[in-house]
Amino acid sequence: MNSALGTAWPRAGLLGNPSDLYQGRGIGFTFENFQAVVTCRRSDDTERVAAEPTILQAARSVVSDLGGDDGSQASFELSLTCDIPQQLGLSGSSAIIIAALRSVYAFRQITVPAERIAELALRAENEFMGITAGPMDRVVQAHEGVIAMDFADGTVDRIDPASLPPLAILVDRHKGQDSGAVHAPVRDRWEAGDPAVRSVMAEFRPLVGRGLECLRSGDVRGLMECVDRNFDLRAQIFPIGARDGAVIDRVRSSGAASKFCGSGGAILAVHEDDAVLDQICRTIVEEGFEGLRPRVTGREVAR
């Protein structure tokens, strides 16, 4: 094989983030409005390999742990295309790393389970790039679809995408802040035993449990309450940018629930009525955001 492609989708956190760094629980989903594609092709051009972007070098740093015929790191080169908005809480960087790992194992014709890909992607970001990040994004992107996770025992469950209510994602047109920079100060407070951080993180486990019950029973209003509560908990210990806060308030004034997809810059809106979300998407441009209806992976779209 002379070349192989690897693809990965952005993800949005429905509930539980950012408790994944603290043995909490979470629900997230991938969606196909954007994508990261990495091509792995045979090459012995060491100069081209050395010139690869840092994020592809991060993927290379864990390639030897994929298994199979390792060979030389210079025996292949990686190239990428990605239209996932970066540093806006949609996990664009982890999508690129996962796509890169998928392209390498396809190139080597080996099979690597999703949980291993998630683990290696997290290591690449933590160890090579020095980013403070938890497992949630990589677990969702490695498994794809709608995924429920328990970070205390490592349980991963797949949820029927049809159980999701109508959703919208509002994306800031301005580049945001690196998620690692957002998480690092709160992580430091946690490790120092800060009671406020400890108390807030303890609330996410039962919140996600309630959200799962709402999904399974079709209780959209109950799920919306959980989504709003998720954001309110986060706001107790994380700073909220003025632009993000204004959009959250505007979405809520429209009757929808709202929270960050990740660390800010992309905002999830939830409502039982598609028309309400369509209206939000049309009017949110006044705040400098773009509204989209996510094509959730595995979810059939009404025609």
Catalytically active residues, by annotation: 137
Distances (CA, A) of 26 to 15, 73, 150, 154, 197: 5, 36, 7, 11, 17
- The full length of the chain comes to 303
Pairing outcome for strands 155-159 and 146-150: antiparallel
Strands 289-292, 76-82: pairing kind: unpaired
Distance, CA of 280 to CA of 278 (rounded, Å)? 5
Q: What is the DSSP string of the chain?
A: --EEEEEE--EEEEE-TTGGGGT-EEEEEEBSSS-EEEEEEE---HHHHHTS-HHHHHHHTTGGGG-S----GGGEEEEEEE-SPTTSSS-HHHHHHHHHHHHHHHHTT----HHHHHHHHHHIIIIIS-----SHHHHHHHH-SEEEEETTTTEEEEE-GGG---EEEEEESS----HHHHHHHHHHHHHTT-HHHHHHHHHHHHHHHHHHHHHHHT-HHHHHHHHHHHHHHHHHHS---HHHHHHHHHHHHTT-EEEESSSSSEEEEE-S-HHHHHHHHHHGGGGTEEEE---BTTPPPP-
